[in-house]
Amino acid sequence: MKRSHYSIQLSPEMDGQRVTVAGWVYELRDFGGIKFIILRDKYGYIQVVIPKKKVSQETLNCFSKLTKESVISVTGTVQKSEKAKNGWEILPEKIEILSLAETPLPMDVSGKIESEMDTRLDNRVLDLRQDKVRAVFMLRSLFVKGLREAMYERDFVEVHTPKIAAAGAEGGASLFPVQYFDQWAFLTQSPQLYKQMLMASTLDRVFEIGPAFRAEPSDTSRHLSEFTSFDYEMAYITDYNDVMDTLEGIILDTLEFVKKEGKPWLEILERDIEIPKSPFPRLTFEEVKSILEEEGRKVGNDLGTEDEKALGRIMAEKGYIAYFIKDYPEEGKPFYIMENDEKPGYSFAFDLDYYGEELASGGQREHRYDRLVERMKKKGLNSNNFEFYLRAFKYGMPPHGGIGLGLERFVMKALGLKNIRDAVIFPRDQWRLVP
Ligand code: AMO
């Protein structure tokens, strides 16, 4: 390997030890008799000291060729140094240039000059060399790990469902058609149909972390055309409270995990993870409606972005950053949600709102075949198009429920990012198909 140690693995106590470090040239400082290369790797910075009299001519020639952001590998000895920021520096024996960077760079990567979002996204790999940008994605990786561990702990089985599908579950307007040999198919909007079908399979509890596609022309700071959906579905529930209890536990465990494991990255972002007050309040839609109407807001069958924000402010004043909204009118909810027969017109659907924005939605599903077909008709859907799905409900389907949560929204809100594009490396929206 071109590297024996990352910056994080070196210390003043290693004085005299021979190591090989590698990374990108962050800064070149030339004071004549002494020169410095500041090297950046995944975990931090490395000072390479080049005293003219103590290094080879080859090393000096190499230094003069270097440009910022070039890639080098340096073999040398660790030297304890009070003056160096880390308390140690590297005295090189050999510098190998692995890739020379062109000049000028298309954007500043020192974090000193802020670039436009488009410039940053066009040059995303360079953008990621900025500490704060890299920190977000190191943390995002921990969110995924935290979610996954929370699911394994709860005996969920990780599954992967098809992303090319014959039918969509979340409404026709946001479907992306794809040519599939001699027929039309769609990119999946969510794993909804498949995770439900699996409830009839004895796997009982499944989860998936995978891509979901929505042809949403809305140009907002919280919508993407391709996002990462965290979904689970669980069988043999008594009612939707089992699903909410599970979600609350998963959210708390994941945030605790990221708070603990992500400390160095959170320090770079100058942000801490706030652990939401538990138990999360479970407000009914009607309660939310009257709270908002008291504020002079008119609410229809569902909550709009501004309603969510207003409620977020009210709940924050009471000390809650996470809360459920349950018992939505069935009219605004998809066919797969179970209606509440005791409260006609309402359903067993809920949302989890986090910092005044919808983070997840879910509910108890309609598992009774006839009622499900009825609901499809009510929603204007042709049940023949869902024959493959309905078949799973004919031969023993337990009562079940689940949720879908947008990973980017979770990361964005937990880390206080302004735009969802800051929480995905290569975002897809109406205007962006590359890189
Ligand atoms: P829903 O459509 O509410 O529900 O989506 C679930 C969660 O996914 C995220 N999300 C998005 N994130 C970024 N960009 C988008 N365009 C986008 N659309 C949705 C949100 C949202 O709360 N099948 C149901 C879930 C279920 O009942 O299990 C569904 O997809 O965070």
Chain segment 187-202, per-residue pLDDT in tens = 999 999 999 999 999 9
224 lines ligand 1 (CB under 6 A): yes
pLDDT at 167: 87
Burial class of residue 294 (count of CB atoms within 10 Å of its CB; 0-12, 13-18, 19+) = exposed
408 lines ligand 1 (CB under 6 A): yes
Is 387 known to be catalytic?
no
Give dist(CA 372, CA 268) in Å, integer: 50
409 lines ligand 1 (CB under 6 A): yes
Is 229 known to be catalytic?
no
From the alpha carbon of 405, which atom of ligand 1 is closest?
7
CA separation, residue 5 to residues 77, 128, 349, 361 (Å): 12, 21, 51, 44
Both structure tokens of 366: 């309609």
Chain segment 278-304, per-residue pLDDT in tens = 999 999 999 999 999 999 999 988 899
CA angle 409, 411, 417 (to 5 degrees): 85
Give the distance (Å) from ligand 1 centre to CA of residue 9.
41
Is residue 173's pLDDT more than 90? no
342: how many CB neighbours lie within 10 A of its CB?
A: 6
Chain segment 301-334, per-residue pLDDT in tens = 889 999 999 999 999 999 999 999 999 999 999 9
Which residues have CB under 8 Å from 168's CB, separation 6+? 174, 175, 186, 188, 189
Is residue 1 helix, strand or coil? coil
Report which residue type is found at 28: L
Q: Which residues are registered as beta bridge partners of 350? A: 326, 362
Which residues have CB under 8 Å from 141's CB, separation 6+? none
In this prediction, residue 6 has a pLDDT band, given cuts at 50, 70 and 90, of very high
Q: List, in sequence order, the alpha helices (H) in 154-296.
A: 192-197, 240-261, 263-269, 285-294
Q: Mean pLDDT for the chain?
A: 97
Is residue 19's pLDDT more than 90? yes
From the alpha carbon of 358, which atom of ligand 1 is closest?
22
Give me the mean pLDDT over the 355-380 stretch.
98
Give the distance (Å) from ligand 1 centre to CA of residue 405.
6
Q: Tell me, what DSSP letter sits at residue 273?
A: P
190 lines ligand 1 (CB under 6 A): yes
